[in-house]
Amino acid sequence: MNWRLFCKRKLNFGKRLVRIHHSNAVLFLLLSITGFILFSTAFRSTFPGMRVDIKNAHIWIGFISILPLFFYLPKITRHLKRLRKRLKHRNNLFFVLTILVSLLISGLFLTFQRSISPIFSSFMLFVHDMATWIGVPYVIYHSVTRSKIFKRFESGQTPKVPVPVEDGNPILKRRTFLKKATGGTIMIISLPFIGKWLSAYIPSGSTFSSEVHANEFTPLPKPKPKSKPPIGGGRNGQFRYYTVTEMPTLTNKNWSFTIDGLVERPKTYRWKEFLELGRDVQVSDFHCVTGWNVYDVTWEGIPLKRFLESAAIKPEAKYLKFYSADGVYTDTLTVDQAMLDDVMIAMLIDGKLISKQNGGPVRLIVPKMYAYKSVKWLNRIELIDNEHIGFWEQRGYSKDAWVK
């Protein structure tokens, strides 16, 4: 990388192209780092307080990356003419431009994700991820094989003499070998990531889909006929399992469910008693504010409205505070929102007890709002008269979580 190029005013055509290329590289690196942090489920618990800032930084760097393209476009015909005889370089150029444009366009839509339909945002997320999973390994390969260190390595530090082009030439052989080895290594490293991502698009039940830990509770709730087989026909799409802590391991022994605060009949349930509460079945869609969605999920559980009615809310109660057994995550609804028909304390998904990763054995479901409202490992509902601000809302997520 030649940093001096960035300050020079008079540059010839070739140097100008190099400068654009280098700015692109720097921006792409920043986008990859911030993008990886946003994608990685592990980083959710590392610095959740910075998540919204990192997201905004990613978006702004994305906008700035349009600039090199603008500078480049007027030069493209002249550049292509120069590459007339270098087919490989031309293909490389078209490939990189396609990746960049796909990333920019899908990124733009994802930025305004809340104003587009969930189906379209799912598709844009797919494009964004796909372009990333192809683009990032390619760019790494490209930067490694074009780096000075690699070139020195390649030539075995022999002094620069013209290399005769013939098949048996040892330097050329070494070069192809090193390039193939580099490409292979990068592929092997990126495959698990790509596999994990792709598995979300492969129908569940296949051997590729990520392993799910069943919750072992006894007795297991007996699914209603509407739940098994699921009236929704089985969910479409896959969850990305999120947590901001270690996932809590819940058992018959350590699990309980409490309703308290401003209610006439506070109560703590153990598993067996909880199973006796009347359940309903509903089919709904699940939307994460980061752009992924799961459609036609058949949930079975206790409608929150009915649960609250039996606890008898006091008139001064204005809000509900939902607690998670992870000890950290909370969220909130107003009493009016909590009374919506489809808000549910869910226990079964598509006829099975909700898995550990998915927030089981009991999680909240608020289908009309983004899923950060849907507290996993739900174990307590408290009725309060003052506003509570949820985990993600404290860290910059909108208090208005309605899906439009």
Ligand X SMILES: Nc1nc2c(c(=O)[nH]1)N[C@H]1C(S)=C(S)[C@@H](COP(=O)(O)O)O[C@H]1N2
Nearer to Mo ion, 372 or 391 (CB): 372
Task: Tell me, residue by residue from 257 to 296, as one string, x for binding to ligand X by CB under 6 A and - for no binding.
Answer: -------------------------------x--------
Among 135, 374, 379, 401, binds ligand X (CB under 6 A): 374
- How many CB atoms within 10 Å of residue 227? 25
- Does the footprint of ligand X cover residue 329 (CB under 6 A)? yes
Rounded CA-CA distance 153/34 in Å is: 31
Which of ligand X, Mo ion, none lies near 200, with the C-beta cut-off 5 to 8 A by kind? none
State how far Cα 346 lies from the chain centre.
23
With CB under 6 A as the contact rule, which of the stretches 197-205, 268-276, 313-321, 324-332 interacts with ligand X?
324-332
Among 221, 261, 359, 361, binds ligand X (CB under 6 A): 359
Largest CA distance in the chain: 91
With CB under 5 A as the contact rule, which of the stretches 141-149, 271-279, 329-337, 367-375 interacts with Mo ion?
367-375
- Does the footprint of ligand X cover residue 369 (CB under 6 A)? no
- Does the footprint of Mo ion cover residue 110 (CB under 5 A)? no
Residue 120's nearest CA partner among 402, 372, 404, 374 is 404
For 33, phi then psi, to 5°, come to -65, -50
Rounded CA-CA distance 48/28 in Å is: 23
Rounded CA-CA distance 186/196 in Å is: 16
Coil, helix or strand for 353?
A: strand
- Does the footprint of ligand X cover residue 371 (CB under 6 A)? yes
To 10 degrees, what angle do helices 118-146 and 13-39 make?
130
Rounded CA-CA distance 151/147 in Å is: 6
319-324: strand order across its sheet: 267-269, 257-261, 378-384, 319-324, 330-334
Which of Mo ion, ligand X, none lies near 215, with the C-beta cut-off 5 to 8 A by kind? none
Which residues are CB-neighbours of 335 under 8 A, at least 6 positions away? 308, 313, 317, 318, 319, 320, 383
With CB under 6 A as the contact rule, which of the stretches 20-28, 140-148, 233-241, 249-257 interacts with ligand X?
233-241
Q: Tell me how far, at minimum, the Cβ of 361 lies from ligand X, in Å.
A: 13
Site size with Mo ion, rule: CB under 5 A: 3
Among 288, 346, 366, 381, binds Mo ion (CB under 5 A): 288
Nearer to ligand X, 250 or 263 (CB): 250
Among 126, 138, 150, 241, binds ligand X (CB under 6 A): 241
Give the binding site for ligand X (CB under 6 A).
239-244, 288, 324, 326, 329, 358-359, 371-372, 374-377
Give the binding site for Mo ion (CB under 5 A).
288, 371-372
